[in-house]
Amino acid sequence: APPSAVPVLPPVQKAVVAPAPIAHDSEVRAAAAAANTHDELITAIHAFDGCPLKRMATTTCIFDGNPQARIMVIGEAPGGEEDRQGKPFVGPAGQLLDKMLAAIGLDRSTVYITNTLYWRPPGNRTPTPEEIALCLPFLERQVALIAPAVLLYTGGTAAKAMLNRSEGITRLRGRWFSLERNGREPIPAMAMFHPAYLLRRPELKRDAWRDLLAIRAKIDELQIQTGATRQGS
């Protein structure tokens, strides 16, 4: 009789470490809404473990600048240098942002700077829609607590997330939008090229300069005192 066939066993599967649990939207919104002050919101973001990016990041990178500023800048996500230092826009793109702000009479003492995401995506990849949606309640609460007079979205990620639009940054930039708020005056908001994009595409700096001039004109039109400290928020 022929020997019985030896059963072929399936290959051993390597154990896969499960990512950090994804928080439900209601949980994130509840945590954000519970923060009544900027300090409380910062504490809540640091304590939040529902985003898998946090496990891979070195630091939680939330803001730089002045929480009492009238101008708020929102970027995309931390890069390598930002992840090391724990502050947004401190690498080469941040240096260009500083120059852009200085060209219209602003600096980090007169603006508040944050990102759409608080943790660095691996390899500086573009954030996923799920990651953006997870952080958005915190970002919206940031805007509500800072209550800026003007909002600046640097790059397509921030602009599309905050404006709920699908167009790319080349179509969105240079235009004024209104961020509606419940029962309060809308905030004028402009989308502009991200400084990192301008470093790769220096021929677009002329368009960026036009956007900066429009921003300065809006600041003057609204009679925003960028040099004075604002009480409360």
- pLDDT tens readout for residues 172-194: 999 999 998 777 889 999 999 99
In the chain, the percentage of residues whose pLDDT exceeds 90 is 82
Confidence band of 5 (pLDDT split at 50, 70, 90): low
Q: What's the CATH code of the domain at 113?
A: 3.40.470.10
Decide if 9 is inside a domain.
Answer: no
DSSP the chain: -PPPPPPPPPPPPPP-PPPPPPPPHHHHHHHHHT--SHHHHHHHHHH----THHHH-SS---EEE-TT-SEEEEES---HHHHHHTSSS-SHHHHHHHHHHHHTT--TTSEEEEES-SSPPGGGPPPPHHHHHHHHHHHHHHHHHH--SEEEEESHHHHHHHHT--S-HHHHBT-EEEEEETTEEEEEEEEE--HHHHHH-GGGHHHHHHHHHHHHHHHHHTT--SSSPPP--
What's the rounded mean pLDDT across residues 15-24? 51
pLDDT, residue 230, reads: 39
159: in domain: yes
Rounded to an integer, the average pLDDT of 21-31 is 80
Residue 205 in this model has a pLDDT that exceeds 70 = yes
Assess if residue 91 is contained within a domain. Answer: yes
> pLDDT by residue (tens digit) across 90-149?
999 999 999 999 999 999 999 999 999 999 999 999 999 999 999 999 999 999 999 999
For residue 207, what pLDDT band results from cuts at 50, 70 and 90? very high
In the chain, how many domains are there?
1
Tokens representing 92? 């080469």
Q: Is residue 120 part of a domain?
A: yes
Higher per-residue confidence, 95 vs 23: 95
26 confidence band (pLDDT: 50, 70, 90): confident
pLDDT at 17: 39
Distance CA 195, CA 220 (A): 23
Residue at 17 is within a domain = no
Task: Output the pTM of the full model.
Answer: 0.87
**Domain enclosing residue 94, as ranges:** 25-221
pLDDT band at 231 (very low <50, low <70, confident <90, very high): very low
Q: Domain for residue 68, yes or no?
A: yes
14 pLDDT above the threshold of 50: no
Do the domain assignments include residue 181?
Answer: yes
Is there a domain that residue 185 lies in? yes
pLDDT score, position 161: 96
**pLDDT of amino acid 233:** 30
